[in-house]
């Protein structure tokens, strides 16, 4: 590969995820513009197709560049690095917020109290994510995490009453981080006696769902940057209960053996 540019080696292709995700929009509209990558293609797919391409490239020690984020099990499974983003096109570190349908706080102040108290760390989420990645069924992984983190669960449920079969519906997107968080929140609500439904949706549908009230809540809002457009569109129909996890990050990710270190090197 001597003399061939990194771009040539990867066919000027960034392996992306689902088109409704904030990261795809940011990459297309901000990052590729800021770094002059007009001759590059951002390949749409899903988290599953992205990680499958990554896995295959790493097995063959081939170059690859993907849209990645933290927290994600990929950093526990593989030796990876973020490409530096000297222009700050992906925005600063952000948080994952809990959002409820406007009116849900009156309909169910008890569940709202719990959702408001739900807060955990990237390490907590990482454990659940890795367990699911290693084959444990999401519901089971959530129950397992609950059983070994009783004091944390006790903090979240402090002052929260029993659900007595009341229905609650949580929307989520099948991103690993959101599968983990939504299943844990669902498992705690179930243990409180709520009748919980988890609804898997696309990113746009998830935001529209909590806005119109077909879903009561989501724990999957990446803010202030990643889902800024969605919050702007639906801000009058939802209430932001604030962060449930801090310290997330987005960026272009490559295996550590790749020679380049910055998004600027893609040009």
* Choice between 19 and 213, CB closer to ligand PBE: 19
Beta carbon of residue 3, minimum distance to ligand PBE (angstroms, whole number): 35
Beta carbon of residue 172, minimum distance to ligand PBE (angstroms, whole number): 10
Three state DSSP letters for the chain: CCCCCHHHHCCCEEECCCCCCHHHHHHHHHHHHHCCCCCCEEECCCHHHHHHHHHHHHHCCCCCCEEEEECCCHHHHCCEEECECCCCCCCCCEEEEEEEECCHHHHCHHHHHHHHHCCCCHHHHHHHHHHHHCCCCHHHHHHHHHHCCHHHHHHHCCCCCCCCCCEEEEEECCCHHHHHHHHHHHHHHHHCCCEEEEEECCHHHHHHHHHHCCCCEEEEEEECCCCHHHHHHHCCCEEEEEEEEEEEEEEEEEECCCCCCEHHHHC
* Choice between 17 and 263, CB closer to ligand PBE: 17
Q: Which residue is nearest to ligand PBE (CB)?
A: 23
Beta carbon of residue 20, minimum distance to ligand PBE (angstroms, whole number): 8
User: By the criterion CB under 6 A, which residues form the site for ligand PBE?
Assistant: 17, 21-23, 69, 175, 177, 203, 222, 226, 250
* Choice between 10 and 250, CB closer to ligand PBE: 250
* Choice between 112 and 220, CB closer to ligand PBE: 220
* Choice between 22 and 255, CB closer to ligand PBE: 22
Beta carbon of residue 72, minimum distance to ligand PBE (angstroms, whole number): 8
Beta carbon of residue 248, minimum distance to ligand PBE (angstroms, whole number): 7
Beta carbon of residue 184, minimum distance to ligand PBE (angstroms, whole number): 15
* Choice between 203 and 266, CB closer to ligand PBE: 203
């Amino acid at each position: 590969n001597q003399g061939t540019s990194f771009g040539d080696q990867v066919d000027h292709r960034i392996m992306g995820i689902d088109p409704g995700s904030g990261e795809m929009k940011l990459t297309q509209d901000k990052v590729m513009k800021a770094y002059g990558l007009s001759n590059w293609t951002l390949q749409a797919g899903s988290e599953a197709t992205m990680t499958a391409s990554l896995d295959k490239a790493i097995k063959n020690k081939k170059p690859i560049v993907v849209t990645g984020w933290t927290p994600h099990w990929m950093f526990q499974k593989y030796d990876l690095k973020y490409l530096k983003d000297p222009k700050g096109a992906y925005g600063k570190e952000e948080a994952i917020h809990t959002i409820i349908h406007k009116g849900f706080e009156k309909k169910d102040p008890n569940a709202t109290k719990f959702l408001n108290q739900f807060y955990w760390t990237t390490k907590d989420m990482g454990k659940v994510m890795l367990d699911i990645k290693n084959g444990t069924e999401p519901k089971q992984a959530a129950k397992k995490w609950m059983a070994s983190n009783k004091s944390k669960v006790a903090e979240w449920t402090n002052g929260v009453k029993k659900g007595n079969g009341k229905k609650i519906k949580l929307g989520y997107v099948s991103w690993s981080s959101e599968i983990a968080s939504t299943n844990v929140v669902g498992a705690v609500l179930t243990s409180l006696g709520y009748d919980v439904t988890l609804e898997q949706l696309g990113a746009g549908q998830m935001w529209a769902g909590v806005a119109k009230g077909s879903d009561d809540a989501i724990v999957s809002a990446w803010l202030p940057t990643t889902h800024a457009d969605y919050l702007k569109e639906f801000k009058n129909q939802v209430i932001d209960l604030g962060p449930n996890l801090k310290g997330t990050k987005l960026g272009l990710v490559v295996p550590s053996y790749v020679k380049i270190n910055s998004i600027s090197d893609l040009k």
